[in-house]
Amino acid sequence: MTKATKTDEVPVSAESLAASAKVAGKKGPPPVDKWNPPFCGDLDMRIARDGTWFYLGTPIGRHELVKLFSSIIRKDGEDYFLVTPVEKVGITVDDAPFVAVDFERDGDGLRFVTNVEDEVIAGPDHPIRVERDPETGEPSPYVNIRRNLEALIDRKSFYRLVEIGEHADHDGERWFGLRSQGAFFPIIPSAEMEV
C-alpha cells in the first residue's frame, strides 16, 4: 500500500469528484487512462481489503456513490488515484480496489462479478493470479478487472473455484489451477496438493 505525495494544495472534496465523475461518465465508462489532470494531493479516502470504501474515516453507505467513484479509479505504478478530466487525487487501497463476490460458468469461461457490479470473463485479457503469504502460505487470489486494476476473489468464491480446478502441465511443471477461455491459471504446484 502506497500513497502519492502532495504537490499542490488545491482543495478537492468527495463531492467535487462525484460531480465531475457524473459528467464524465454520461457517455459510457470514463476514459481515465487518457486523462492527464494536475495532481491535487491526497484525499482521506480508503478502500479496505473487504471492498468497503471510507471517506474521512466513515464508511460510504451509498452504493451508487461507491460505484461512481470506482468508475474513475486508476493505478499508476503502485499508487491509486481518483481521476477526472480536471483533477487527480491520491487514495489509499489496502489490497485491491475491487472484490470479486461471485462467479459462474459462461461457456468455457468463468464470469466474475465484483462488489461494484463490474463483470468480466477470466481469460488472456482478464487473468487470474494467486499470491501466497510467505509466512502462512495462505492464498490471495485476484482477477484483473480493467486496465491494471484487480479484484480480490472472496473466500467463498475461491473455495468454489478450487472445487472445479484441474491438474495440468504449465511451464514444464505440474500445477493445480483453473481454466477459462482456453487459458490455464496456476494456483498451486500439484505436488503440494498431494502432501
**CATH number of the domain to which 130 belongs:** 2.30.270.10
Bridge partners, residue 168, by sequence: 175
Q: Is 86 helix (H, G, I), strand (E, B) or coil?
A: coil
Q: What is the pLDDT of residues 17-49, one digit of tens each?
A: 777 666 655 666 789 999 999 999 999 999 999
Residue 4 has pLDDT above 80, yes or no: no
Residue 107 shares a structural domain with residue 145: yes
Residue 9 in domain: no
pLDDT at residue number 63: 95
Q: pTM for the whole thing?
A: 0.86
CB 150 within 8 A of CB 143: yes
Bridge partners, residue 119, by sequence: 113
Give the length of the chain: 195
Distance CA 24, CA 21 (A): 5
Residue 126 in domain: yes
Distance CA 24, CA 72 (A): 9
Residue 69 shares a structural domain with residue 102: no
Residue 132 in domain: yes
Domain count for the chain: 2
Distance of CA 14 to the CA centre of its chain: 20
Share of the chain above pLDDT 70, in %: 88
The domain boundary, picked from 42, 63, 93, lies at 93
CB 129 within 8 A of CB 145: no
pLDDT band (50, 70, 90) for residue 194: low
The domain boundary, picked from 93, 115, 130, lies at 93
Residue 108 shares a structural domain with residue 57: no
Residue 35 shares a structural domain with residue 114: no
Residue 89 shares a structural domain with residue 104: no
Residue 2 in domain: no
Share of the chain above pLDDT 90, in %: 75
Q: Is 135 helix (H, G, I), strand (E, B) or coil?
A: coil
Per the prediction, the chain carries an average pLDDT of: 89
| Cβ count within 10 A of residue 31 | 12
For the domain that residue 87 is a member of, what is the CATH number? 3.10.540.10
Residue 114 in domain: yes
The domain boundary, picked from 62, 93, 124, lies at 93
Residue 103 shares a structural domain with residue 149: yes
Domain of 137?
Answer: 98-194
Residue 2 has pLDDT above 80, yes or no: no
State mean pLDDT over 114-127: 97
